[in-house]
Amino acid sequence: MSGTKESPVIVITGTPGTGKTTTAQLLAQESPVPLKHINVGDFVKDNGLYEEYDEEWQSYLPDEDRLLDALEPIVAAGGVILDWHSCDAYPERWPDLVVVLTCDHSQLWERLEKRNYPLKKIQENNEAEIMQTVLTDARESYPPEIVVELRSETTDDMESNVARIVQWIEAWLNDRKAQEA
């Protein structure tokens, strides 16, 4: 996908409760180029791109083929932030940067309790964070140079993370300009 886009495709992923959506919203506001924030969970729900609703987990099970087909033209244009708890479904060619947000598991537990998640869902997400499931999936799915792990436990962390990603975007843009020159 490189070469034709004027703005990067950034994946922000992590276990539920790590601050993906807030980080993506802040990044969309502070980016030096316009970036469209897509909360993929909402995108699935709003566009009916799911196979069923799982009552036990209180979540929609996405139809990945239909989801990827719907996202393809949006991603091809660039200038998008994909915010979802999973990243390994995306083709390797899509992202220019994959940011995996992590959080101390005891803090994560509290955040998920505040969301009124069922205990089983809190336990599974907590275990996934301890086992670094999302980070492992990202590292197995994409080149190591585009996968970045960032701590997301405090407001300061979030602001620092957004500033780091903005710097990365500026470098990405400068690289594009240099290639065109």
Q: What is the DSSP track for 156-171?
A: HHHHHHHHHHHHHHHH
Q: Where are the beta strands (DSSP E) in 71-155?
A: 80-83, 97-102, 147-151
Q: How far is CA 109 from CA 69, 99, 129, in A?
A: 34, 21, 10
Q: Is there a contact between 95 and 24 (Cβ–Cβ < 8 Å)?
A: no
Instruction: Identify the structural domains of the chain with CATH numbers, from first to last.
Output: 9-162 (3.40.50.300)
pTM (2 decimals)? 0.94
Extract the tokens encoding 102.
């992590």
**Residue 1 has what pLDDT?**
43
Please check if 19 is assigned to a binding site. Answer: yes
**Residue 75 has what pLDDT?**
97
Mean pLDDT by 10 residues, the chain (181 residues): 76 97 98 97 97 87 97 97 95 97 95 94 95 97 97 96 98 92 80
Please check if 115 is assigned to a binding site. Answer: yes
Extract the tokens encoding 94.
């899509």
Please check if 121 is assigned to a binding site. Answer: no
